[in-house]
Structure 1
Amino acid sequence: MWTHRSWSGRILAHPLAPHERLRHYAGWCDAVEGNTTFYATPARDTVASWAEQTDPGFRFVLKLPRTVTHDRRLTAADEELRAFLHAVEPLGPRTHALWLQLPGGFGPTDVPTLARFLRRLPTDHRYAVEVRHPAFFTDPQAARLLEEALAPVAAEWVPFDTTAFFASPPTSDAERDAWTKKPRMPLRTDALTDRPIVRYLGRDDDTRTVEGWQRWVDVVVGWLREGRSPTMFVHTPDNADAPLLARRFHDEVRAKLPGLAPLPDPIPTEPSPAEPLTLF
């Protein structure tokens, strides 16, 4: 996601043509989750425009279509997979990872299917897998089976940390909506590869979001010191301040690792007199 109604005129310029929105977002953050690709494979020309709006070092983590991961459950989906790979080809090195978000019912007995699917994928991409079946987090044998399936293709296990979100009852409409939709995932902070990917869900209260990510600041600092190149995605239920929070997280990591490169300078926008643009 690189657009949000509440960002218009505050974080991103307004008005802004559709083919300019990603370029402005890329002035705030240097990575994005490609969640829309889960619902429909984009036109190749559309993807080419994404490449034109971003630098080669920008990171896209693109979710495979639901027809592949959910409807077909990684079987008999060659045509859909080929169409998707063809569509995203214009991104070139910007495709940081192709992301398989598997349904909650995809459990340990399905791991052989995942292993076969991963072995057949093109080797010119990196892959990341997000599982939501509780056994992978509570049963060491199930976790080991999954890790053994990921290892031959150097695929990463993507944690979705919702522990801060579910720590106390919701207090806003957006939180109440997310309360019924988001998975209650146990915490996992291990990395399998040199490019770990983390998805973190905070609260609509920025203070609580920041409190909840403190463990991740230390984890990410440790990964960077080990020579890894992590990607951190920060969400809140309403996502109104997500780019601001992402930059704040980066600032906290950089405070402990001053050698870490800064994020890009945002493209200037005219703030509303009633709502000045602030970082915090």
Structure 2
Amino acid sequence: MWTLKSWQGRLLPHPLPPGERLRSYATWCNAVEGNTTFYATPARSTVESWARQTAPDFRLVVKLPRSITHEGRLTGVDEEVRSFLETIEPLGPRAHALWIQLPGSFAPTDLGTLAGFLHRLPRSHRYAVEVRHRAFFDDARSARLLEGVLAGVGAEWVPFDTTTLFRSPPTSDSEREAWAKKPRMPLRSVALTDRPIVRYLGRDDTASTIEGWRHWVGTVTGWLREGRSPTVFIHTPDNADAPTLARRFHDDVRVLLPEVEPLPEPMPTEPLTLF
């Protein structure tokens, strides 16, 4: 999520070799969703490049490949998991959590499969699970059962907040595409661990996006006061200004909690000159 074309030359320097784009992004934000790993396990040399471009405290939330979560549905995939874990090993502490995004068809009746899968994973990593079946949100018993499975291995439940997107009809092509593809997820803001992860999807209109995240500013501030270390990802349908918005969210939290450290100054998009 650090190579978006619309960022090149506007938020990130251009031209910039692919092996330097994450380094530039990391001056904007101190965390990123490793979404590309969902489509295929990368080459180890690629992962080594990610590690070289980021500081040890940079947070990559790395998604497990769909061959494990969607095609294999967590069954008979031990060899694929082993290979994936070996590949991402160069990240070291940068692998903040391994993100297990499950398909919408993964229901409460599948919780036994999830429990078995999580218990087979090495404890050397943190795990975060994103579910999309409505029963986990609409049925209190199903939610409690999932929380119990996750608590048994210290895993987090990742909320994907799309309530702002679906609050009113789409007004742009990217919003219409998001309406067709993104899940209509109810709001959930309960942290299970000391490292909660939030995914928030706003609108292409900046004011609407900011208004929609007010709840999260208060929630994240509360988590910080409790001693937790949350990670928040800010999206819009076109993501054109996502890094700028992420910094704005960080600043909004700092208004309520000034002791939170500011983010670094972004790398300039143009080379510095003397005149």
TM-score (norm 1): 0.96
- Structure 1 segment 158-169 matched on structure 2, within 5 A: 158-169=158-169
Structure 2 match to 1:149: 149
Q: Deviations over 1:167-191 (max 9, x none)?
A: 0000000000111000000000100
How big is the shift at 1:264? 1.3
Q: Distance in 1 between matches of 2:256 and 2:84?
A: 39
Alignment deviations for residues 153-180 of structure 1 (CA, whole Å, 9 cap, x no partner): 1000000000000000000000001110
The answer for the alignment partner of 1:120 in structure 2 is: 120
In 2, the alpha carbon distance for the partners of 1:230 and 1:3 equals 24
Any stretches of 5+ residues in structure 1 without a counterpart? Answer: 272-280
Give, as a single letter, the amino acid of the residue that structure 1 aligns with 2:116.
Answer: R
Give the structure 2 partner of residue 139 of structure 1: 139
Aligned to 2:176: 176
Alignment-derived partner of residue 228 in structure 1? 228
* In 2: Cα distance, 1:132 partner to 1:88 partner: 26
**One-letter amino acid of the structure 2 residue matched with residue 238 of structure 1:** D
Please report how far the alpha carbon of residue 3 of structure 1 lies from its aligned counterpart in structure 2 after TM superposition.
1.4
Cα distance in 2 for partners of 1:88, 1:236 equals 28
State the distance in 2 between where 1:176 and 1:269 align.
31
Q: Distance in 2 between matches of 1:18 and 1:161?
A: 30
Q: How many matched pairs?
A: 271
Q: By how many angstroms is 1:16 displaced?
A: 0.3
Distance in 1 (alpha carbons) for counterparts of 2:99 and 2:55: 21
Of all paired residues, the percent bearing the same amino acid is 72
Amino acid in the other structure paired with 2:51: A
SS in structure 1 of the partner of residue 73 of structure 2? coil
Q: Does 1:45 align with 2:45?
A: yes
Structure 2 equivalent of residue 25 of structure 1: 25
Dislocated runs of 4+, deviation >2 Å: none
CA distance in 1, matches of 2:113, 2:265: 44
What code does the residue aligned with 1:17 have? Answer: P
Pairwise CA distance, 1:83: 1.1
Find the aligned partners of 2:151 and 2:251 in 1 and give their Cα distance. 32
Q: Give the structure 2 partner of residue 278 of structure 1.
A: none
Gaps of 5+ in 2: none
Query: RMSD of aligned C-alpha atoms?
Result: 0.7
